[in-house]
Each structure stands twice: as structure tokens, then as C-alpha cells.
Homo-oligomer: A and B are copies of this chain.
Amino acid sequence: MNCKSRSSNTTIRRFPRYYRHLISLQKRGVYSVSSKDLSEQMGITPSQIRKDFAHFGGDGLHSGYEVGILKNKIANFLGLGKTYNMVIIGAGSLGRALMFNKSFEEEGFQVIGIFDTDADVIGEKIEAFKVEHLNCLSQFVKHQNIDIAVIAVPNIEAIEIIHKVISFGIKGIWNFSPVEVRVPNDVAIENTCLGDSLMILGYHLKKDRTQQSGKSPKV
């Protein structure tokens, strides 16, 4: 599977949003919801919502969906309810923040190891795990099934690390580094470069500043 093309699949990207939104509706005691309600709440057109739900046989009724049933259907479509083993590569502040995030485990994504190359952190205990040297990963994968490697190193070394974990047979990569890496068709890669969100916010803020200064010059 090639995630470069898959990542342009904007349909799939809406499903985690639906799933989260349905959980928040359930928490607020909402029992049923129509595509019109969802549209107003989420800023997605009703026809788009009905089209999306057709992916798992959603009937597209205007009258409403039962929140719990819809949530479960989406969970099933996404493959939630299964367990995925993850290793984190990079025991810096980001790697630790990801390790401490309990919501991942609630959805079945469990961290089973953390690796680094920095002698200062190797051997340190973080939660239930001791940081191991990245060189130990090849041995680790022989004994543990790893579905996802989280690349929480912020630099150019990430390219080499990604190729390495793929050579170990790991099929899912969550890449936080700023590098773009082409991966084989049977590997899924999710690129989450946090700085991109800031650049996009900056673009919108700049645009608004320019528009404002066009109307009434700043003094």
C-alpha cells in the first residue's frame, strides 16, 4: 500500500473525525443524529456525510442515525477494537508525550518499547519501559510483533531510521520528522509534521492581516 497516494484519500481522513464526534455526542447523552445535524456540527455537507456512510452500508436516511450503532460501524470500518503494537523511536519530549497519551491505548494502540541512540537517555525508565538503544530494535522485532514504529526524532536521521524499521518488516510508520520518505507499497506511512499546522495558521493570519491593512492601514 502506498500512503503517498492514500494520504490524499480525504474520505478516510474524515472517519476518525466522525468517530470522535460521535463519542462526544454519546458523552452528552445524544441518542440519535441526522446527517443535517452532523453537517451543522462538523462543517461537512449532508450529501458528503451520506456518501461517506455508504462505505459501510450506512442507509443515508435523513431521519437520523442511532449514535451508538453509527459509532460502532465506524469503529469497525476503521479497524478499531483490534490491538496494534507500537514502538517509539526517540525518547525526547515528543516521544515521551506520545508515550504518556492514554487515549491511544484506549483505542487499541499500545506502546511496547521505546528506543533512542543518545547515551544520556538509554537505560532511563519511562513509565513501564526502559529506553533501549536503537541497535537493539532488530533483536526486539524477532520476539515481538510490531505493527507501528513512531518516528519521534526531529531531524534528517529519520530517513535512515525509517528505511531501517521497514527492513525489519514493520508495516506502519507514524513519522513526526520533517522528512518525506517514499515507502514500499505494502507499508503505510502517516506524516505528522507539527510545524506544517503552524505554517498553515501563519498563512491564514498573514492573509487576514493583509486584508485588514488593505481596508484600513495600520497606524
Taking Cβ atoms with an 8 Å cutoff, the residues of A that contact B are 1-6, 8, 10, 12-13, 15-17, 19-21, 23-24, 27, 41-43, 77-80, 82, 84, 92-94, 96-98, 100-101, 103-104, 107-109, 147-148, 154, 156, 171-172, 174, 178-180, 182, 186, 188, 190, 192-208
Query: Within the assembled complex, what's the spacing in Å between the Cα atoms of A147 and B207?
Result: 13
Expressed in whole angstroms, the minimum distance between the Cβ of A77 and any Cβ of chain B is 8
B13 touches A200 (CB 8 A): yes
Expressed in whole angstroms, the minimum distance between the Cβ of A199 and any Cβ of chain B is 4
Residues of the B chain whose Cβ atoms lie less than 8 Å from the Cβ of A27: 156
Expressed in whole angstroms, the minimum distance between the Cβ of A178 and any Cβ of chain B is 5
Q: Chain A binding site: helix, strand, loop or mixed by DSSP?
A: helix
Assess A207 versus B97: contact at CB under 8 Å? Given A193-B16, A200-B13. no
Assess A104 versus B178: contact at CB under 8 Å? Given A5-B43, A94-B97, A147-B205. no
Residues of the B chain whose Cβ atoms lie less than 8 Å from the Cβ of A94: 97, 101
Query: Within the assembled complex, what's the spacing in Å between the Cα atoms of A201 and B147?
Result: 9
Query: Within the assembled complex, what's the spacing in Å between the Cα atoms of A77 and B147?
Result: 38
Assess A17 versus B82: contact at CB under 8 Å? Given A154-B103, A190-B201. no
A195 touches B82 (CB 8 A): no
